[in-house]
Chain A
Amino acid sequence: MRPAAFEYHKATSLEHALTLLQEFGEDGRPLAGGQSLVPMMNLRLARPGHLVDINGLGLDSIEERGDVLHIGALVRHQRYFDDPIIARRLPAFLEAVHWIGHPTIRRHGTLGGSISHADPTAELPAICVLYDAQILVASTAGERRIAAADFFANAYVTTLEPGEMVTGVEFPFPPENNSGAFLEQAERRGDFALAAIGVSINHDTSTITSASIVCAGARLVPTRAPEVEAALVGRALSAPEARAAGTQFSENINPVGDHAASADYRRGLIAELTTRAIERACEKAREHS
């Protein structure tokens, strides 16, 4: 299929883009990499009357700003592979990037686009929730920040207001002794996740001092389970209770069934992926301790 008719506008500055988005309201969408929005338009699941092309507006830096890593909305996924700060400080993030689509998609897709699209199976929304990221948002009325946990409202729905646009994301740095892992299962490499699990643990030389676990692909939004995270605190880095935590997490997540996998299948998958992700994160932590 082909998209419905729309008007194309090439923004010349961020202010210009925000003015246009304010003018068009619900009928306007920013166009960045197009790797999520354009398929939706081709399938006529999305029919915006106006596209505001924001490519070339900058918003594409990855930089340390004090105790956060700031990533611009127009950073393409491929860039993360070469970023030494992400590799060292946000290890689950780096592992997640390997699971995003495939090389051609990763060269063009953007952070702002992925999270604004809010696909429940997508990796980067899960990573934002895992690391308690702040989503930076702008409109003609000014700027605001939204905690990742409050940003994803439903499948393909965010709490962005009409006229607002994501300009970047801030990831608070975990402490130096942090480890992480991201595992995913899909029908084919690069296809939509049946389930994906991100784990980030802070640790001392022998124990877990705090943990975050996120699941994508099994609920309408990326989901965490604070009770399971709390239960891992003080546990040994040898992770003897990884399987118990994985089972408990899959019960807390209470996954949905759909055409791709039943709820029961997902429950088993989440338990297994979570177990392996905790074990992997702990193994990496032991190597560094």
Chain B
Amino acid sequence: MSDITLTVNGTKRTVSVESRRLLADVLRTEFDLAGVHIGCAHGACGCCTVDLDGQPRLSCLTFAVQCDGATINTVESLGGKQAEHPLQQAFKSEHGLQCGYCTPGFIMTLAPYVDEMVGRGEMPSDADIREAMSGNICRCTGYQGIVAAVRKAISDQIGKETTP
């Protein structure tokens, strides 16, 4: 067992973990963050994506013991209980989810992408959006609504509707 200190959603805590424990499992069990979903557990579905030190990372391909000292944000860090983050709101209005199992992974992959595009004041093409979310699999609603949600989250913030 190793003692590791993680700052998760703004709270710093030390936990004792076996080396083989996946970050995804530690976030779910030790930190009670049930928004970290585990779909395939081998890096194919993207459900478990979290923000690790500022970058989207597959928490099923990461051992918790590797993350000593890291700052981690999960979907619970975005938008509060009412899910008020612009991307979460856009997923709702554009029907970007159905069962919702894959949604936290999509949100954690795409929120930094939306922020980057908003920062550049740029509306990406649908092909670019699809490339950005190509590591996430949705098995019920399809990707049309998710692409629309990304476009809406960006256009709501930069005030442009169309691709330049």
Contact = CB atoms under 8 A, between A and B. Distances in A.
A51 interface: yes
Interface in B16-57: 18-20, 22, 25, 41-44, 46, 49, 55-57
Contacts of B46: 102, 104
A105 interface: yes
Interface stretch (A17-25, A38-46, A275-283): A38-46
Contact of B43 (A5, A38, A51, A55): A38
A31 B65 CA distance: 12
A230 interface: no
B62 interface: yes
Contact of A42 (B2, B41, B57, B135): B41
B62 A190 contact: no
A101 interface: yes
Interface string B123-154: 00000001110110000000000000000000
A172 interface: no
Contacts of B42: 38-39, 42-43
Contact of B25 (A2, A51, A55, A108): A2
A104 B135 contact: yes
Nearest to A4: B20
A101 B41 CA distance: 16
Given A8-B2, A105-B43, A38 B61 contact: yes
A107 B57 CA distance: 8
B143 to A, nearest CB: 11
A196 to B, nearest CB: 17
Residue among A5, A34, A107 having the largest count of chain B Cβ atoms under 10 Å: A34
A105 B135 contact: yes
B19 A8 contact: yes
B61 A34 contact: yes
A247 B156 CA distance: 51
Given A3-B20, A4-B20, A53-B66, A39 B134 contact: no
Contacts of A53: 66
Nearest to A102: B135
A207 interface: no
A141 interface: no
Contacts of A88: none
| Prevailing SS type, chain B contact patch | mixed
A38 B40 CA distance: 13
Nearest to B60: A42
Contact of A39 (B61, B63, B130, B135): B61
Contacts of B63: 8, 31, 34, 38, 51
Contacts of B111: none
Residue among A34, A101, A102, A104 having the largest count of chain B Cβ atoms under 10 Å: A104
A130 to B, nearest CB: 24
A265 interface: no
B91 to A, nearest CB: 19
Contacts of A190: 134-135
A76 to B, nearest CB: 10
Contacts of A39: 42-44, 61
Interface string A1-20: 11111111000000000000
B135 A107 contact: no
Contacts of B22: 2-3, 42
Contacts of A104: 46, 49, 56-58, 109, 135
A102 B18 contact: no
21 contacts: A3-B22, A5-B19, A6-B20, A8-B2, A8-B63, A35-B43, A38-B42, A39-B61, A51-B19, A51-B63, A101-B135, A102-B134, A104-B56, A104-B57, A104-B135, A105-B43, A107-B55, A107-B56, A108-B58, A108-B61, A190-B134
Interface of B: 2, 18-20, 22, 25, 41-44, 46, 49, 55-58, 60-63, 65-66, 109, 130-132, 134-135
Q: Which 8 A-B pairs have the closest CB atoms?
A: A102-B135, A39-B42, A8-B19, A102-B134, A38-B61, A3-B20, A189-B134, A104-B135
Interface of A: 1-8, 31, 34-35, 38-39, 42-43, 51, 53, 55, 101-105, 107-108, 189-190
